[in-house]
């Protein structure tokens, strides 16, 4: 007999007939979403589902990051810095989730992964167009990466658009210039299809923001938000590196990269170099 004291009755006002109404699953497209996991191992390896879902959820979060970065740049271009700060704050929370996700994949042992790794063929996270779009939006542009997506016109077109769009840092510096700060013209007029590189001429401008918080408080806050974004991105890269290291050691990546060594070199890449360089000057 059912213990009715341990049953929560369905309230009469709750809708239960969805024959002509939109349901939760219908709104979210759960039939397609939950049907998008197709393990290739035969017989199916228990842990391949983990591997697929880990990467699919990462791609969903990257889609949202791209959405928020686009909005943040539009807001900065329209001098709506509070809106941009809101978008950046959301991105930081998304990044925290993505960083923590690595702990789930890290439960996959080398022995378990080796039993279905060959079924991946040459598929690799290196081929993530959305990851590259985020890197491009933050400043690590690399036109040579476009050729990786020659077989995927939609992905290549997305990256082409991102290549020719100002980065988040470009929009911030343009906003700072409109506020009266003397951002060097050669930085404002740089070729935005190229990766951003450190420029000592910009450091005094950033220093003026940090040392003039009463006048530039919102710009100062934006600088710290940008630093948070970069720190989180580097933490994500590091957790990726450590997860790969504990799972495949020093093996070559499925996509043909050198694996751990390739990921290690990515840690030297930076998005907003002057925001770090200024810390050496402040208080000196």
**Which residues does 1 contact at the CB level (< 8 Å), separation at least 6?**
none
Helices (H), the chain: 24-28, 30-33, 48-77, 81-105, 110-114, 129-138, 153-163, 168-178, 185-188, 203-211, 213-248, 260-266, 273-281
| Cα distances (angstroms) measured from residue 12 to each of 9, 16, 141, 214 | 9, 9, 56, 57
Virtual torsion, Cα 158, 192, 134, 169, nearest 10 deg: -140
Query: What residue numbers does the annotated binding site for heme cover?
Result: 240
Query: What residue numbers does the annotated binding site cover?
Result: 51-55, 113, 117, 240, 254
Virtual torsion, Cα 124, 129, 134, 137, nearest 10 deg: 140
By the 8 A CB rule, do 277 and 198 touch? yes
**Which residues does 184 contact at the CB level (< 8 Å), separation at least 6?**
199, 201, 202, 205
Q: How far apart are CA 175 and CA 233, in angstroms?
A: 23
| Cis before 107? omega within 30 | no
By the 8 A CB rule, do 241 and 263 touch? yes
Query: What residue numbers does the annotated binding site for substrate cover?
Result: 51-55, 113, 117, 254
Closest CA to 139 of 99, 193, 85: 193
By the 8 A CB rule, do 167 and 192 touch? yes
Q: How far apart are CA 107 and CA 102, in angstroms?
A: 9
């Amino acid at each position: 007999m059912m213990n009715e004291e341990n049953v929560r009755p369905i309230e009469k006002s709750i809708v239960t007939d969805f024959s002509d109404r939109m349901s939760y699953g219908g709104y979210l497209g759960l039939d397609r979403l939950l049907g998008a996991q197709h393990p290739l191992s035969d017989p199916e390896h228990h842990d391949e589902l983990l591997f697929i879902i880990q990467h699919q959820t990462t791609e969903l979060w990257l889609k949202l990051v791209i959405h928020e970065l686009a909005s943040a740049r539009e807001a900065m271009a329209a001098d709506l810095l509070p809106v941009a700060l809101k978008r950046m704050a959301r991105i930081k929370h998304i990044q925290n989730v993505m960083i923590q996700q690595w702990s789930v994949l890290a439960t996959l042992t080398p022995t378990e992964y080796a039993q279905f790794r060959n079924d991946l063929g040459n598929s690799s996270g290196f081929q993530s167009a959305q990851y590259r779009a985020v890197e491009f939006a933050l400043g690590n542009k690399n036109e040579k990466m476009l050729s990786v997506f020659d077989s995927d016109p939609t992905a290549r077109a997305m990256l082409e658009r991102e290549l020719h769009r100002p980065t988040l840092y470009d929009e911030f510096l343009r906003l700072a210039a409109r506020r009266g700060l003397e951002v060097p013209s050669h930085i404002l007029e740089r070729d935005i299809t190229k990766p951003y590189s450190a420029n000592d001429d910009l450091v005094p401008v950033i220093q003026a923001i940090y040392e003039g918080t009463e006048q530039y408080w919102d710009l100062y806050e934006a600088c710290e938000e940008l630093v948070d974004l970069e720190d989180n991105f580097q933490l994500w890269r590091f957790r990726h590196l450590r997860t790969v290291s504990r799972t495949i050691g020093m093996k070559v990546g499925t996509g043909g990269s050198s694996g751990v060594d390739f990921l290690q070199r990515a840690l030297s890449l930076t998005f907003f170099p002057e925001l770090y360089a200024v810390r050496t000057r402040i208080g000196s």
